[in-house]
Amino acid sequence: MILSKLRLRQLIATSSLALILVGCGFHLRQQQPILVTPLFIEAPDQQVFARMLRRALKEHPEVTITSNAKEASFRLKLISEGLERKIQTLSTDGRVREVTLRDNISFQVLTQAGEVLLPPTSLSVERVVSYDDRYALAKVNDEATVYKEMQEDGIRLLILRLNALHPTIPSPDGQHADPAQHGEQK
């Protein structure tokens, strides 16, 4: 009896909260479209980060990635991407206990005409990883896994930066138009 009253109160409280949120117009944030398209990614093809970025951008249906810079309206130039590894902590006997891994990504976005849309920007993803030299091989594999996850996080951050860009494109009458409104009647 007491348990059912408690459940009834929880149900009423949850329902009331849901009605209040719906009534005030609350809704989950939607993913913003990437407006820098068609896009050319200027990076070596053999670079793992560039391949991962191309794959991630292909998941966005509004983005067209071109293999020819002349066909693209925008150019994403990967300036650098690399891993830093620093010793974070040592034990009392001088052995490494924690290592800091940092993935640094530098890039910029240019228009087809070479105008800077986003100046050189740096992103960093950092993780602290435990280390035990008795299990050095296992820790090397762990660091490789963490590094791959860090690259994926860096790509997510880079895509968020691309989402925040609102470039203007020239219209036929010579004025600049917002690509989000491109195709709409004024």
Each residue of 77-90: pLDDT tens digit? 999 999 999 999 99
Predicted pLDDT of residue 186: 32
| Mean residue pLDDT across the chain | 83
pTM beyond 0.75, yes or no = no
**In CATH, what number is assigned to the domain containing residue 155?**
3.30.160.150
Assess whether pLDDT exceeds 50 at residue 40: yes
| Segment among 5-14, 70-79, 141-150 with least mean pLDDT | 5-14
**10 located within any domain:** no
Instruction: Please check whether residue 149 lies inside any domain of the structure.
Output: yes
Helix or strand run (H / E) with residue 5: helix 2-23
Report yes or no: 76 and 42 within 8 Å, Cβ to Cβ: yes
Cα 136 from Cα 148, distance rounded (Å): 18
Domain region containing 129: 33-166
- Number of folded domains that form the chain: 1
The residue whose two tokens read 């149900």 is 11
